[in-house]
Structure 1
Amino acid sequence: MRSIHDPRYQDLIKKLIELRESKDVTQVELAQRLVKPQSYVSKVETLERRLDVIELVDWLKALNIEIGEFVNQIKLYN
């Protein structure tokens, strides 16, 4: 199974979307903070592109969230 199809990864992305939306940040605004095109954010959020751990840290930093705080909010273990 490709890891992008792993339910845990899908839950992680759903949580990132919820986090972005809860902070009233659009995809365009997040992309600007990341110095990336809006399509980058869209592809991550629609599971067309996978985030690596460095990109995840950058994404969270752009939303002013500590990685430890984020990890405590998600369930990665079955």
Structure 2
Amino acid sequence: MKKSVFTKKYKKLRELLVQYRDEANVSQVELAKRLGTRQTFISKCELGERRVDVVEMMLIADALGIDPVDVIKELKKVSD
């Protein structure tokens, strides 16, 4: 099994996080404030320079007002 960061599903996760943030009309700076972190954390996650774990994904989803289960459902549609 290859590392998850090199899969189509992980790329889709990053794309979804950007998409949901954009749809919520939330900047990286605002999302970082909501999470109590820095904008660079958000940027690195979205660019794939930092791995997002499941707990972080849930926190990001909550901060954007989306259901983390919806994110997972979208990822299940992607074949690797």
1:65 aligns with 2:37: no
- Asked if structure 1 preserves the Cα contact closer than 8 Å seen for 2:8 and 2:78, the reply is no
Aligned to 1:49: 50
Aligned-residue RMSD, C-alpha: 1.5
Alignment of 1:13-52 (within 5 A): 13-52=14-53
Gaps of 5+ in 1: none
How far, CA to CA, are the matches of 2:78 and 2:45 in structure 1? 21
CA distance in 1, matches of 2:15, 2:22: 11
Task: State the match for 1:3 in structure 2.
Answer: 4
For residues 6 and 73 of structure 1, what CA distance do their matches in structure 2 show? 15
What is the count of residue pairs matched by the alignment?
Answer: 78
Secondary structure at the counterpart of residue 74 of structure 1: helix
- Which structure ranks higher in relative contact order (CA pairs < 8 Å, sequence separation ≥ 6)? 2
Query: How far, CA to CA, are the matches of 2:60 and 2:19 in structure 1?
Result: 13
Give the CA deviation at 1:47: 0.3
Deviates more, 1:26-35 or 1:66-75: 66-75
Unaligned 5+ runs, structure 2: none
- Counterpart code for 1:71: I
